[in-house]
Amino acid sequence: ILRAVDLSGATGQVDVSRLVIMGQSFGGYAALMAATQSDRFKAVIASAAPSNLASMRGAFDPHHEILPRDGLELNPNYGWSELGQGQLGVSPWEDPAKYVRNSPVFFADQITAPVLLIHGDGDFVRLSQAQEMFSALYRLGKDAQLLTAYGEGHIIVSPANRRAVTAHVLQWLAKVLAPEPFAD
């Protein structure tokens, strides 16, 4: 990510002193991981992002909590960390340290930028993932906000919710990227 930023900055068309990293789903996870490894970002926006790969692994899909008659299905979260996008290749009991190393929530203390977490309450990447990250950042006294989109799943699709989230993101960016006032 930072190599791409450096190359973009070399063009003179990108202000690398005001970097914002934003991602959705695995991109949100990547944004959080990048923020734990670099202080070059001035703001981080993570939407529908996993933050703790161990606790995500066994979470039930909200659909099956609401309609249990459909049966219990081990949703994509169960295999995501081992064989899916997470690509850890082992279960948490086989290599717990690998799950910790690859979960941004365990490195929340290293995040220096303000963080905006956006999550739908019906997402199969459970809302608790954003809540865990928010709680860690809050406890550490970091600048963090959690925006919950009620009635939404993994992707925010309601036009009203999309407008509200976009307005919130733009207001939040204006605040966190505002020039600092001159000191006397």
Q: What is the pTM of this model?
A: 0.89
The pLDDT, as a whole number, for residue 67 is: 62
Distances (CA, A) of 171 to 1, 9, 40, 112: 25, 25, 21, 20
Blockwise average pLDDT, block size 10, the chain, 184 residues: 91 91 97 96 97 82 63 61 83 93 98 98 92 98 97 95 97 92 66
In sequence order, the 6+-apart residues with CB closer than 8 A to the CB of 66 are: none
Cβ neighbours of residue 166 under 8 Å, at least 6 residues apart? none
CB–CB of 42/176 below 8 Å? yes
Phi-psi category of 174—alpha, beta or left, where left has phi over 0 and alpha has psi -120 to 50?
Answer: alpha
Question: According to the model, what pLDDT value does residue 74 have?
Answer: 56
- Asked if residue 114 lies in contact with residue 143, where contact means CB atoms within 8 angstroms, the answer is yes
- Provide the pLDDT for residue 64: 61
pLDDT of 60: 67
Note the pLDDT of residue 7: 94
Range list of β-strands (E), 37-136 = 41-47, 115-120
Report, in angstroms and rounded to the nearest whole number, the Rg of the chain calculated over CA atoms.
Answer: 18
